[in-house]
Amino acid sequence: MQVLKDILYGVTIVEVHGTTDVSVDFLTFDSRQAKSNSVFFAIQGVARDGHDFIPEVCDAGCTVIIAERVVEVPESVQLIVVSDTQSALAIMAGNFFDEPSKKLNLIGVTGTNGKTTITTLLFNLYSRLGYSCGLISTVVNKIGDRDIISTHTTPDPIVLNRLLKEMVEQGISHCFMEVSSHAIHQKRVLDLTFKGGAFTNITHDHLDYHKTFKEYIDVKKTFFDRLPKTAFALTNVDDKNGEIMLQNTKAKKRSYALKSMGDYTAKVLENQFSGLVLNINGKELWTRLVGDFNAYNLLAVYGIAQELGDDETEVLTALSELKSVDGRFEHIRSTSGVIAIVDYAHTPDALDNVLKTIENIRTKNETVFTVVGCGGDRDRSKRPMMAKIACDRSDKVILTSDNPRSEDPNSIINEMMAGVDAANYKKTLSIVDRMQAIKTAVSMAETNDIILIAGKGHEKYQDINGVRHDFDDLNTIKELFKKLNK
């Protein structure tokens, strides 16, 4: 239970209709959850305007309405008009849950690719170092050993602050969190206090939401603009937009790179399916992770650990013991020597990086098969690019369904085919059914051939016409290897 006037601290208020001296015990921006003693935030969404649901939440017994304009409410309901309800939600959620982010070493990781791997590696690293840790990621949220289902890369401010408060109550000292561009734009992390932030890279993605690449970059940059001077900001300067992220930050500026000068640098000495050998800031490290993209991920983790002040030798030792993250370059070998790789690569850059890694490791005496699709109701402009990259860097390509959602999967594949030029047409198949597509690749593969199954990674479902069907790429390939004795 909180008093309204206390949780309004820091909010830009335009008008107050009623009193702020009332008790509330629940916050929501979902009209279906409104109840007695609750605060409802009327947020203008992409598809719906929360202001339209104010009569409904008042009927449900809602005590307080936070809105951006004066609306008619019953006399018993308090109306607080603010300049921005999204900002008010973030600030009030922090106040309601007693500002838990200030009581943690909260690290945010943003960028197009690598967020899940870096945050998960950090969680596993710091757990090995003896700390009690929390994780907020695309795959799962964790409080110590307890897993909590993740529905968004970055939760809404209410869920987020509730999670962080529970972490504080459970004695968690460090929390590692993915920060998506949607979350930054929608101000979900506006009022959180970060100990540090890291930028991985920025490539073609989410242009269905951000409209332009410049807007996408600018949104990412605002995360660093808001970091306090007591925090650190670590950026990948090999990315051409890496330094842009630090232009206006008040935080301590730090950098990492494989190809440029940086505060933290690394060189790939060996790259095999068994793992990487790296030289990080003059120290040699063997790790089970594979590929240059994971060299970047590991270097970012190392840099964050150094900024947090942890012992370098202990950090490097623990890094060498870490395993790959679920759905990120997970590979298995069949009894006949066929290698299958499952990876979440769902952007042009991520797919290119994975295929480059395979290219660097392969002997050139084997065939590389790529099974890939694109998600429905998402950025359509990347579809032909994904197909082109798959064709340019593979010997055989099977275009298939990813999560078609409300779209016709045949239409998605047709849009991907626009990126297949005449020279690559003969090596490309279209098989809408994902199970059949993977099965076809397995049946065609011979000893030492490599099959990349891209796009879904850790996901355990396929979203088709609003229904989630059980589907797991890794389990699928394992079962096919058993049945076909590959």
Tell me the pLDDT tens digit for each residue of 137-170: 988 999 999 999 887 878 999 999 999 999 999 9
| Alpha-carbon torsion, ordered 235, 240, 241, 242, to 10 deg | 10
* C-alpha span between 118 and 198 (Å, rounded): 9
Quick check: 211 pLDDT over 90? no
- According to DSSP, residue 13 is labeled E
For the whole model, what pTM was predicted? 0.89
Q: How confident is the model at residue 214 (pLDDT cuts 50, 70, 90)?
A: confident
Look at 211-225, 346-360, 370-384 and tell me which has the smallest mean pLDDT.
Answer: 211-225
Q: What is the per-residue pLDDT for 203?
A: 80
CB within 8 A of 76, min separation 6: which ones? none
Q: What is the per-residue pLDDT for 442?
A: 96
For 381-406, what is the mean pLDDT? Answer: 97
Quick check: 23 pLDDT over 80? yes
For 76-88, what is the mean pLDDT? Answer: 97
Quick check: 205 pLDDT over 90? no
Q: How confident is the model at residue 210 (pLDDT cuts 50, 70, 90)?
A: very low
Strand locations in 248-361 (E): 252-257, 264-272, 275-280, 283-287, 330-333, 339-343
DSSP string, 413-481: HHHHHTT--HHHHTTEEE-SSHHHHHHHHHHH--TT-EEEEES-TT--EEEETTEEEE--HHHHHHHHH
Q: What is the per-residue pLDDT for 207?
A: 52
List where CATH 3.40.1390.10 sits in the chain: 2-96
Q: Determine the Cα angle at 464 with ends 458 and 468, to 5°.
A: 55
List where CATH 3.40.1190.10 sits in the chain: 100-319
List where CATH 3.90.190.20 sits in the chain: 330-484
The matching CATH number, chosen from 3.40.50.10440, 3.40.50.20, 3.90.190.20, 3.40.50.2300, for 330-484 is 3.90.190.20
The chain-wide mean pLDDT, for the chain, equals 95
Q: What is the per-residue pLDDT for 33?
A: 96
Q: What is the per-residue pLDDT for 154?
A: 85
Q: Which fold has domain 2-96?
A: 3.40.1390
pLDDT tens-place string over residues 218-258:
899 999 999 999 999 999 999 999 999 999 999 999 999 99
pLDDT tens-place string over residues 268-321:
999 999 999 999 999 999 999 999 999 999 999 999 999 999 999 999 999 999
Architecture of the domain spanning 100-319: 3-Layer(aba) Sandwich (3.40)
